[in-house]
Amino acid sequence: MEMDDRAEDPWRKETVPRVMATVSSRLKQKDVYSLLLVSPWCYRFLLAQTTLWQFSESLQLLENLNLNGCQKISDAGVQAIAYACPKLKAFSIYWNVRITDKSVKLLVNHCKEITSLNLSGCKNITDQSLFLIAENYEALDDLNLTRCVKLTDAGLRRVLKNCLQLRSLNLYALSSFTDHAYNQISSLKHLRVLDLCGAQNLTDGGLAHISSCEHLISLNLTWCVRITDAGITAISPGCRSLELLSLFGIVGVTDKCLESLSASCSRTLKTLDVNGCVGIMRRSREQLLRLFPNLECFKVHS
């Protein structure tokens, strides 16, 4: 049976909103977020229900929110989340091209306790977001900026200067940064995990500054094509806690860098990836264990 517009209008304007208001107040937090994406009408209606967002005890106390894969969420969606979840400590919205600097501004204004932030793949984030993060999240200990391609040295330097508690920093697939920014990593005395995969402008000079990160246990230098033995030799004496090191695709390193690593990290190194490092000779398991007694995984070119 088809309704004419006059019959349908009261249903749409009165009955449906009452049903939505009743049902949504009883849903779990993740289901409410799913409803935001059903249609523009649902989205506008739910955002208008201030009690739904402001007085839900579960949302008010939520500390960890992972929205990875939710590609339809925009700045307005983050606004609803920021209002609803003031106690957030960890926020992840991996690979979302719809959110902008406005989302980060909303987060820093309403979620003051965030210590872990994953903006991986958010390609519209600019230095403005990094300035906001630096000024508002000095206690940040985990930051993922993978493929945030609009960032520059200026934004990264501000974060590295202010967020001195960082323990994990992921700059995967960001080729625009230079040593001017990488040099500032030396200030991160608590850093344990650093991913610089694809840092094509990183030189031995910039890498040398990382030697002051004495608690570093994981370092990814995959495709850092300007690095040579000199850079690895420079960091080895300082980074004596390294457990994982990837030199994948770096043709400028040779057996000399392994000797340097063995002298400093022989007891800690467990995973070493030298696949594509044509200057490093193949070794037997016994030869490797003489250099690195605790080595569990050694990846070498075929």
Per-residue pLDDT of 203-262, as tens digits, reads 999 999 999 999 999 999 999 999 999 999 999 999 999 999 999 999 999 999 999 999
Q: Measure the CA–CA gap between 231 and 204, rounded to whole angstroms.
A: 4
Q: Note the pLDDT of residue 80.
A: 83
User: What pLDDT was estimated at residue 33?
Assistant: 62
Question: By the 8 A CB rule, do 156 and 130 touch?
Answer: yes
pLDDT of residue 81: 86
- CB-CB neighbours of 133 under 10 Å: 25
**What pLDDT, on a 0 to 100 scale, did the predictor assign at position 83?**
85
Amino acid at 13: K
Q: What pLDDT, on a 0 to 100 scale, did the predictor assign at position 117?
A: 98
Q: What is the DSSP track for the chain?
A: -PPPHHHHHHIIIIIHHHHHHHHHTTS-HHHHHHHHTT-HHHHHHHHH-HHHHHS-HHHHH--EEE-TT-TT--HHHHHHHHHH-TT-SEEE--S-SS--HHHHHHHHHH-TT--EEE-TT-TT--HHHHHHHHHH-TT--EEE-TT-TT--HHHHHHHHHH-TT-SEEE-TT--S--HHHHGGGGG-TT--EEE-TT-TT--HHHHHGGGG-TT--EEE-TT-TT--HHHHHHHTTT-TT--EEE-TT-TT-BHHHHHHHHHHHTTT--EEEETT-TBS----HHHHHHH-TT--EEEE--
Predicted local confidence at residue 257, as pLDDT = 95
CATH topology for 60-300 is 3.80.10
pLDDT of residue 128: 98
196 in Cβ contact with 170 (< 8 Å): no
Low-confidence ranges of the chain (pLDDT < 70): 1-59, 301-302
106 CB contacts (<8 Å, ≥6 apart)? 75, 78, 79, 82
Residue extents of the structural domains in the chain? 1-59, 60-300
> What is the percent of the chain with per-residue pLDDT over 90, rounded to a whole number?
68
